[in-house]
Amino acid sequence: MYLYDEKKIRDVLERDIIPVLPERISKIIGKISPGDMQYIEEIRLRVQRPLMIFKGGLDYFVNEDGSISHFYTRAVTVIREDMERALQLMSDYSIYAVEDEIKQGFLTLRGGHRVGITGRGVIDGKKIKTIKNISGMNIRIAREVKGCGFELTEKLYRDGVKHTLIASPPGCGKTTLLRDVIRILSWGQKEIGIRGYKVGVVDERSEIAGCYLGIPQRDVGIRTDVLDACPKAQGMIMLLRSMSPEIIAVDEIGSLEDAEAIEDAVNAGVKVIATVHGRDMTEILKRPGVKNLVDRRTFEKIVILSRREGPGTIDEIIDV
């Protein structure tokens, strides 16, 4: 279970999030009580819909005075001008500069926070060229919980790093855990006899290192190289060819192409640590690429997470 520092989370919101929200929305978010603010995981803006936050596994409507409720009758309504202003602020007044991210359905803010966006997709052939008339934003607050990966690292890697798959449903802390495991392995941890490793990270959706202008905003270690916004399969091959990693870490695998790249890395003597969506082995094995890897016993350990005792609860460690 991950515990968050109340003052630190408020500082993060005031530094990274509130400045890129329209003034009237930022004032309302700033009124939310410290006790509620420390647990905010997402802020949701939808045009002509109530302003919402997500915390503790539940969503809440936000009222004008900053109070939150499960009832929407007093909630603040987001308007089109709010969305347009938010996009201006988040892009630093240059939509062109963030077009590559927008067509993938997200923006990355300073501090590594990710903003999912929805609207009207503009299609060019079979590819999405951009998203126009943006009508929804999901601001996911990036949490860096240093130390949350210590227990798992000590338990699994004291006698050497093993090919590991970390699985959970969305919102259960697998990316937060992966980030801290990367940090520990990259820096090294003398207390448990772990030396520092060269780690290559393929961060396709900028959620692990949270790069802003190419620079990691999260502590992923002193020996870590990050390929930001790069497709996982291509990125793994690039790292193998050019960066001589000892460990490759990737988030949310699933395709056959991902599986082939992971096999290439394993055959090259590189350890792989990856995450996947799924609440149990039944769900995990529905993904063809992951099923192939499990059937071939590519992974040595599979870690199942849940929110049973809060994000990051380790439910089970499976020896493959």
State which amino acid sits at residue 13. Answer: L
Is the whole-model pTM more than 0.75? yes
The percent of residues in the chain predicted with pLDDT above 70, rounded, is 98
Mean pLDDT over 219-228 rounds to 96
Cα distance between residue 86 and residue 79, in whole Å: 11
Whether 145 and 178 have beta carbons less than 8 Å apart is answered as no
Mean pLDDT over 292-311 rounds to 93
Asked whether the predicted pLDDT for residue 167 surpasses 50, the reply is yes
In this predicted structure, what is the pLDDT of residue 124? 87
In this predicted structure, what is the pLDDT of residue 153? 96
Asked whether the predicted pLDDT for residue 2 surpasses 80, the reply is no
The percent of residues in the chain predicted with pLDDT above 90, rounded, is 74
Give the model's confidence band at 307: pLDDT under 50 very low, under 70 low, under 90 confident, else very high. confident
Average pLDDT, the chain: 92
Asked whether the predicted pLDDT for residue 125 surpasses 90, the reply is no
Asked whether the predicted pLDDT for residue 3 surpasses 70, the reply is no
Whether 135 and 169 have beta carbons less than 8 Å apart is answered as no
**What is the domain partition of the chain in residue ranges?**
6-140, 150-319
Give the model's confidence band at 7: pLDDT under 50 very low, under 70 low, under 90 confident, else very high. low
In tens, the pLDDT along 134-152 reads 999 999 998 788 899 999 9
Mean pLDDT over 197-216 rounds to 91
Whether 36 and 55 have beta carbons less than 8 Å apart is answered as yes
Asked whether the predicted pLDDT for residue 196 surpasses 70, the reply is yes
Q: Domain 6-140 - what CATH class?
A: alpha beta
Whether domain 150-319 has CATH 3.40.50.300: yes
In tens, the pLDDT along 10-47 reads 888 989 999 999 999 999 999 999 999 988 999 999 99
Token duo for residue 23: 């003034």
Mean pLDDT over 3-8 rounds to 55
Asked whether the predicted pLDDT for residue 219 surpasses 90, the reply is yes
> Of residues 199 and 129, which shows the higher confidence score?
199
Asked whether the predicted pLDDT for residue 4 surpasses 80, the reply is no
Query: Per-residue DSSP letters for 189-255?
Result: BGGGTB----EEEEETTS-SS--BTTB-SS---TTEEEEET--HHHHHHHHHHHT--SEEEESS--S
Token duo for residue 199: 């780690």
Sheet holding 301-306, edge to edge: 224-228, 199-203, 247-250, 271-277, 164-168, 301-306, 313-319
In this predicted structure, what is the pLDDT of residue 171? 82
